[in-house]
Amino acid sequence: MHLTWIKEKSGKVICIIRVFEGDETPYRPHNDGNIWMKVGSVKKPVEIASPEATDLLFRKSERAENSRTNNRSRVDLNYQSFLKNAESERVKERESDIERERIRRTTIQGGDTLSPYNSNIINFAVGDKAAMLKILLQPYYPHGDLLRPLDIEPVIQDTRTRNNIHQFPLYDTWKSMGEGMICFDWDRHDGGITCQQVFANGLVFNAIDVRRDNHGKSISHLAWYTSSLYVTLKGASKIYEKIGYKGSVIGSMQVVGVRGLQIYPVIETMFPDNNQSVFDAQSWNIDTDTRILADDAKLKELITELSRDIHWSFGYKDLQKKITVDVLEKKGYITES
């Protein structure tokens, strides 16, 4: 909905309300099972929709769901393709690294005894030890491109959001693909993965590895979840504003590979240090719209509630709202730097 105020010279004020076509059809009044339609001028009364019109409305919702499902499939296929390519890179780089060391050792004189060489490139497949946090957002009905794929790069450059931990979109090299652009990187020393995707039809995707090794323990900190969620939603809001999309935004937040990890809450002093994840995966729905994403106060409210849901899922059931907001803002998890 778009609201415009026009002030006339006579002192009268005219308010023009433009209501955009809804995507989540069919709509029903409260306490009324009928589906109503209005066609034509304002003088024509509303009527109960015909079976044919009702079928069209239901099929519109089905098409929207199919479009979102296809988007999710494309995101996963892109991710898996780049993951396989990263593994091929790892194998080649590790072999080259070991060969260089072998040649270097053959030139050493004096018969020195050398310890076995350990390559700086990880000795396990890329992704094998990762705990991937994946955040995906898209328009309710991504039925067409909002801009040409080749016009996405300047949008990415102009919409970056960062806080004290994360950034979306990244400054790293972005590569073009059929749907839009993708950025994929992996750490040669610990195998950590980062993958971001932006589609021309409005989909945004951000995936990071939230597993770390700390004094012999494998850990994951829920502060990283909240921090990444903030930059992704804030960055998506800037992208939608830049490309002119207004409307419902549907998404999800999922983490996989966390079984057995020590899970730390945002407020560590409130809980004992013994919470180990017994689940391999967790997921949370994101149902919002561009109006909320563009409003800083409402965006922080949304992220705070999602952060409390995340904590609840991992067994932290007493995270109070006011304390949560204060800590998230103080530590810069839901503020832009």
What pLDDT, on the 0 to 100 scale, is given for residue 321? 79
Residue 11: inside a domain, yes or no? no
Q: How many helices (H) and strands (E) does the chain have?
A: 6, 16
What pLDDT, on the 0 to 100 scale, is given for residue 42? 60
The CA distances from residue 327 to 68, 222, 269, 316, in Å, are 35, 13, 12, 16
Residue 248: inside a domain, yes or no? yes
Residue 290: inside a domain, yes or no? yes
What pLDDT, on the 0 to 100 scale, is given for residue 86? 96
Residue 89: inside a domain, yes or no? no
For residues 189 and 323, which has the higher predicted lDDT (pLDDT)? 189
- The per-residue pLDDT for range 76-132, each reduced to its tens digit, is 999 999 999 999 999 999 999 888 887 777 766 555 556 667 788 999 999 999 999
The strand ranges marked E within 203-318 are 204-209, 212-214, 217-221, 248-256, 262-264, 281-289
Residue 67: inside a domain, yes or no? no
- The per-residue pLDDT for range 206-215, each reduced to its tens digit, is 999 999 988 8
Around 90, how many Cα atoms within 13 Å sit in the side-chain half-sphere?
A: 24
Show the tokens assigned to 150: 């080749």
Residue 96: inside a domain, yes or no? no
Residues facing residue 162 across a β-bridge: 167
| CA terminus-to-terminus distance, the chain | 31
Question: Count of residues for the chain?
Answer: 337
The residues, any chain, with a CB within 8 Å of residue 251's CB and separated by 6 or more, are 135, 136, 137, 138, 285, 286, 287, 288
* Mean pLDDT along residues 159-169: 93
Contact indicator for 182, 82 with CB cutoff of 8 Å = yes
What pTM was computed for the model? 0.84
Please provide the DSSP assignment of 34-66 as one string: --EE--SSTTSPPEEPPHHHHHHHHHHHHHHHH
Measure the CA dihedral 86/87/91/92, to 10°: -30
Please provide the DSSP assignment of 237-266 as one string: HHHHHHHT--SEEEEEEEEES-TTPEEEPS
* Mean pLDDT along residues 7-27: 66
Domain count, the chain: 1
The residues, any chain, with a CB within 8 Å of residue 312's CB and separated by 6 or more, are 319
Residue 246: inside a domain, yes or no? yes
Domain with 139 in it = 129-330
